Amino acid sequence: MRVLQVALPLPLPPMSYLPPLGGEGQEALGRRVAVPWRGEVRVGVVVGEGGRPSHALRHALAYLDGAPYLRPEEVLFLEEASRYLFAPLGQVLADFLPPSPELRHRVRLYPGADPKVLPKGLEALTAWQEARGFDPRLLDPLREAGVLEEEVAFKEGRRVLLPLKEAHPDPTLDRVLQALRSMGQAESQAALARAAGVGVGRVRRLLEEGYVGYGEPLASPPPGEPVEPLPLPERPERLNGGRFLERVRLLAGLVAEGDHLVLFPEVSLLERFLRHFPRARPYHGGLPPKEREALFRAPRGLVFATYGGLLLPFTPRSLVVVEEGSESYKLPSGSRAFVPPLAEMRARLLGVPLTYLSLVPAVEVLERPGLTFPVPRPRLLLVDLRRERGHPLTGRALALLKQVEEKGRQAVVLSPRLGYSALLLCADCGYRPNCPDCALPLRYHKEAKALLCHQCGHREPPPPLCPRCGSTLLEPRGPGLEWIQEELKRRLALPVYRYTKEEKDDLGPLLAGKPGVVVGTTALLRGPTLPELALVLLPYADGFLYEADFRAAERYHRLLWALTELRPGRRPLLALQTYTPDHPAHLALLEGSVEAFPWAEKALREALAYPPRVRMVKLEVAHRLEERALEAAFALREALKGVAGEEEVLGPAPAPIPRVKGQHVFHLLLKGSTERLAELLSRLDRRRFRLDPDPHRFVGLLED
């Protein structure tokens, strides 16, 4: 008897099930299947067969797809990604598989079974009933006893004919298939037959052979402004620099014909590119579930996707990763994958070329052969806070803002933090209110009249007097967005707007060309383009630079170049108030080189044996008692004693924020190749820590 290996979208390895009753001889690999799991019904994917049959194994309830949902190529990718991420296959599946449609689940007592076996409250099961109306804990014993008959299927909405394969060996049938591919979808078999000029029987044959199938209707492509493709004599592995529209043209040249998959770090950038590619089909988590399901069932053509597109069951001609260094490619939970290495794995397994396309190359891809196009030299002004006076805005910054006001133009002022100030400080005794659950000062929010912790959400009113010495001199320190906005309103006659992830003012007047100033966070990078933008000001640029991880400088460098493109086609003045005007990231902008800083950063990491020279994983332990957390961290180090070399283990050490949400947090870093890291991790009890492969942040307490 066959045994199916079913991956559930849970942090578990594949589970063993017997095939559904009546489905013993059917093809199983890649098909979605409904299985009983802890008293309920779950949807999983068959990722293999094997194992010893046993009476203890339970039957899967039903296959949910007439044909495989995933091909062997996608199953292989899931297995390889699982090994690369040191994560259960089920967790990788949960990260990349789109949500399944709602199930229709009916149950009844098997005909001929004695109704007396039904417990109290289930007497109605002598006839078909919707399973939703019954307690799963009562149904499961009947299921285990083999007296419960079940029907499980996806609920269907409107269905249309979609192409499932690229070509048919029979020329006549291939003509019908190609007609459907050009149409995208057909309302019925008769509609496709009329369009192809054949009888319905030929369409029915394509349906029976699996070349076409029924699926959800596809959304109409959005209107676009096509650009002239910029062809290249050879396909490079990376493309950098240039203006934004030049990179759009380069992408158009790369994907001019056939099927291609283009990955983006976030939806806002995807939609920005999508305006220039009318034939592209978007695929991301913001789409309606039915639309995502329809595209997943029949992927083809040019697909613009976020990370989930890596599992789309088709073989494109090429794969393009846009802005491969963006931190938005890092999944905040689940397997915590960083997507670009998985894209490289996917391209290698499919045997298709991969190209990285970005303004600034990531350190990890620098050595790949490619092309770097010249960039307009940024207009950069460095205001040295060691010499200039004025807080939070120096005299030079205010003079620039006054020029914007006099000329009726627009400005963006970027703040590294929300709230009014980073903390309150007693001028007499140095007391500052701290979060009771985190090793952080409470942020002062003047408008809300509150002290807030931005890590755990703790909230309390600001004290009228210093709790330690009774002084009235509690002063805000470290200007935040509210403080800067207040200062701008006091100094300028221009209207001042706010733009953050949480709060977005109506920028309609600015988009119409009227003058004004927007103060906000990096959410502005994903906002609308201001047509009269003349100045981009960072009152405290170092606030974006000094973060507790080795990637902070690279991230800051990428941010500065992104700010130069806030108004494509023009060069707004970028003014940075900074204590480090001679930082290499600033010098790279003055030089007008997008590669100079990444190469210097790569040399530094090579010397330290940091990524990309080796891989790195972060092990995180936390406990409410500091001594228990420290003990657990040293236990991990002790378990690697005699196995790992000194250069392969860093720590344990307190996290940059050593206490978060009442938990004391310690980190241990392991360095090495994927194979070596797998060997080291095999020596450890995975229940004792949380793992972050290829970490990009080191603050602490990984999200779940």
Question: Please, what sign has the CA dihedral across residues 338, 344, 347, 352?
Answer: positive
Neighbours of 611 (CB within 10 A): 17
Pull the structure tokens for residue 635: 């236990």
Taking only the tens place, the pLDDT of each residue in 293-327 is 889 988 989 999 999 999 999 999 999 999 999 99
E runs forming strands in 62-112: 62-63, 103-109
Q: Are 637 and 652 in contact (CB under 8 A)?
A: yes
CA distance 528 to 568: 12
pLDDT beyond 50 at 704: no
Counting Cβ atoms within 10 Å, is residue 402 exposed (0-12), middle (13-18) or buried (19+)?
middle
Q: What is the pLDDT of residue 197?
A: 87
pLDDT beyond 80 at 273: yes
pLDDT beyond 80 at 218: no
CA distance 252 to 262: 11
Instruction: Report CA-CA distances (Å) from 559 to 360, 571, 665, 666.
Output: 10, 16, 29, 29
Q: Kindly give, in sequence order, each residue whose CB lies less than 8 Å from that of residue 126, ignoring residues fewer than 6 positions away.
A: 108, 109, 115, 118
Pull the structure tokens for residue 206: 């394509």
Pull the structure tokens for residue 682: 């095999």
pLDDT beyond 60 at 703: no
Section 132-153 average pLDDT:
83
pLDDT beyond 90 at 666: yes
Q: Are 592 and 267 in contact (CB under 8 A)?
A: no
Whole-model pTM over 0.95? no
Section 687-704 average pLDDT:
79
Q: Bigger pLDDT: 701 or 417?
A: 417
Q: What is the pLDDT of residue 123?
A: 85
Taking only the tens place, the pLDDT of each residue in 592-650 is 999 999 999 999 999 999 999 999 999 999 999 999 999 999 999 999 998 999 899 99
Q: From the CA atom positions of the chain, what is the Rg in Å?
A: 29
Amino acid at 193: A
Pick from 411, 419, 541: which is nearest to 484 by CA? 419
Section 402-408 average pLDDT:
96
**What's CA 75's distance to the chain center, in Å?**
21
Q: What is the pLDDT of residue 222?
A: 63
CA distance 310 to 263: 8
Instruction: Report CA-CA distances (Å) from 526 to 228, 263, 281, 548.
Output: 25, 17, 21, 25
- In this structure, of 286-290, 357-361, 560-564, the range with the lowest mean pLDDT score is 286-290
Section 376-400 average pLDDT:
94
CA distance 612 to 562: 23
Q: Are strands 663-672 and 615-623 parallel, antiparallel or unpaired?
A: antiparallel
Pull the structure tokens for residue 152: 């499980």
Section 15-43 average pLDDT:
88
Section 88-109 average pLDDT:
93
Q: Kindly give, in sequence order, each residue whose CB lies less than 8 Å from that of residue 264, ignoring residues fewer than 6 positions away.
A: 270, 273, 304, 305, 306, 322, 323
CA distance 62 to 45: 12
Q: How confident is the model at residue 669 (pLDDT cuts 50, 70, 90)?
A: very high
CA distance 500 to 279: 32
Q: What is the pLDDT of residue 522?
A: 92
CA distance 530 to 409: 10
Angle at 266 between CA 264 and CA 271, to 5 degrees: 80
Instruction: Report CA-CA distances (Å) from 44 to 6, 17, 65, 91, 119.
Output: 6, 11, 11, 12, 29
Q: Bigger pLDDT: 239 or 287?
A: 239
Pick from 368, 440, 643, 400: which is nearest to 534 by CA? 400
Average pLDDT, the chain: 92
Q: Bigger pLDDT: 22 or 372?
A: 372
- In this structure, of 192-196, 407-411, 628-632, the range with the lowest mean pLDDT score is 192-196
Q: What is the pLDDT of residue 700?
A: 65
Neighbours of 435 (CB within 10 A): 24
- In this structure, of 266-275, 365-374, 544-553, the range with the lowest mean pLDDT score is 544-553
Helical pair 552-563 and 596-608, crossing angle rounded to 10 deg: 170
Cis peptide before 652 (omega within 30 of 0): yes
Q: Are 468 and 431 in contact (CB under 8 A)?
A: yes
Q: What is the pLDDT of residue 595?
A: 95
CA distance 355 to 611: 21
What percent of the chain has a predicted confidence (pLDDT) above 70? 98
Q: Could you tell me how many helices (H) and strands (E) the chain has, helices first?
A: 19, 32
Counting Cβ atoms within 10 Å, is residue 198 exposed (0-12), middle (13-18) or buried (19+)?
middle
How would you label 586-595 residue by residue, b for 16+ Cβ within 10 Å and e otherwise? bebbeeebbe
Q: How confident is the model at residue 549 (pLDDT cuts 50, 70, 90)?
A: confident
Question: Please, what sign has the CA dihedral across residues 110, 116, 119, 125?
Answer: positive
Pick from 356, 269, 351: which is nearest to 320 by CA? 356
